[in-house]
Amino acid sequence: MIGFTKMAGATLLLAGAFLAPAASAESDMDFTIENQTGFTIKELYVSPGKKDTWGKQILKSPMKDGDTRKITFKPTAKVQSYDVRAVYADGGKPVWYDIEPANISKVTLKWDKQNRKTILVKHR
C-alpha cells in the first residue's frame, strides 16, 4: 500500500502504576502498532494479561488504515504479558492475548479475508 504513515503518540493509562504518558526514557517494552486492516480502529486497549477489565482506551484519535502509533510504557513497568483489544468503527472487537512487548518492536494488524478475522503479526 502506498501512503503516508502517520506517527502519533499514544498514552497508556493502566492501573496507574504500569504505564505512563510518553516517558523521556524509552522502555524495553515500547513498541509500534500499525493498522493494515483496511478499516478504521476507533479504540485500542492494552491491559496486563488475564485482567477482567480493559481500563481506558489509549487512542487520542482513530487509527485509519495505514496509520502507525507508538505504545509507550513506563521504564519501570514489570508486567511481561499484555492483552490487546481493538474496536473498529463498525463495532468489531478483536482481542489478542499474551503479547510480550519485551520480545517485539512492532505489531501489524491485518485483515485475513479467507478467515474473516483480524490477525496480529509480531515483528522483532
Question: How much is the average pLDDT of 12-39?
Answer: 65
Over the stretch 56-97, which tens digit does the pLDDT of each residue have? 999 999 999 999 999 998 888 878 899 999 999 999 999 999
* Domain boundaries, given as residue ranges, for the chain: 7-123
Q: Fold for domain 7-123?
A: Immunoglobulin-like (2.60.40)
pLDDT value at residue 52: 87
Question: How much is the average pLDDT of 38-45?
Answer: 96
Contacts of residue 46, Cβ cutoff 8 Å, sequence gap at least 6: 12, 14, 19, 58, 71, 82, 83, 84
| 82-88, strands of its sheet edge to edge | 41-48, 82-88, 95-99
